[in-house]
Structure 1
Amino acid sequence: MPYHSTPLDLAFHALSDPTRRAVVSRLAEGELPVSVLAEPFDMALPSFAQHLKVLEDCGLIASEKRGRSRWCRLERARFEEAANWMEAERRRWAARLDRLEAYLDRTEENDDGKTV
């Protein structure tokens, strides 16, 4: 069966890399030209551009040409989608753990009528 990545899968894959997470952190302060964005990273510009391509392809960032520079910015929608998914998972697991805790409490109380 072929595997088809969803946009959310691609976003989490993109964020699995520390360089790309650092790029996202820098862009959280505001949009930047690629040349400025690349300065703190110890890699050739073509290698850095590959990281930007991964982030752009999954919708986490967008870029546009302004004069002779390419500027990058964060795209809020994909981050909101990831945050919504994580919040739904958090609620689901919290509910499961609450049910487990209630079950264990009942089990402890039912063991020979004793509580632990």
Structure 2
Amino acid sequence: MPFLDVLVTQKEESFITNVYVKPTNTGHCLNGESECPQRYKDSTIGAYIRRALTHCSTWQLMHKEIERSTQVLINNGFSERDINRQTKKIMENWYNPNATKKSQDITIFYRAFFSTAHQEEERII
């Protein structure tokens, strides 16, 4: 039974979830050859991949959904190189969330007094 964009199927004593695509879906999305920022294109690819990761309950269903999404993206003018790059990046972050986080100390310098240089600038104005 589909609910929102998730297909829930009961199998023996468990439930299996998968991405649900309406039969009327035409497969159109942002065109990969359009004149828009690269981050928009990466976001479109990422949305399809993250949806497969979050909605599919088995590895086989997830793999099948990623293949379907890849074909939809290729049909919309995305390069296979960009799709593979984004897929790899998202899956690495998904399975190793702490590997990409780098802690970096930021030193902030603070002066407890104001310079009087602004008074000179105000006088000129």
TM-score scaled to structure 2, two decimals?
A: 0.29
TM-score scaled to structure 1, two decimals?
A: 0.31
In terms of fraction of residues, the more helix-rich structure is 1
**RCO higher in structure (CA 8 A, sep ≥6):** 1
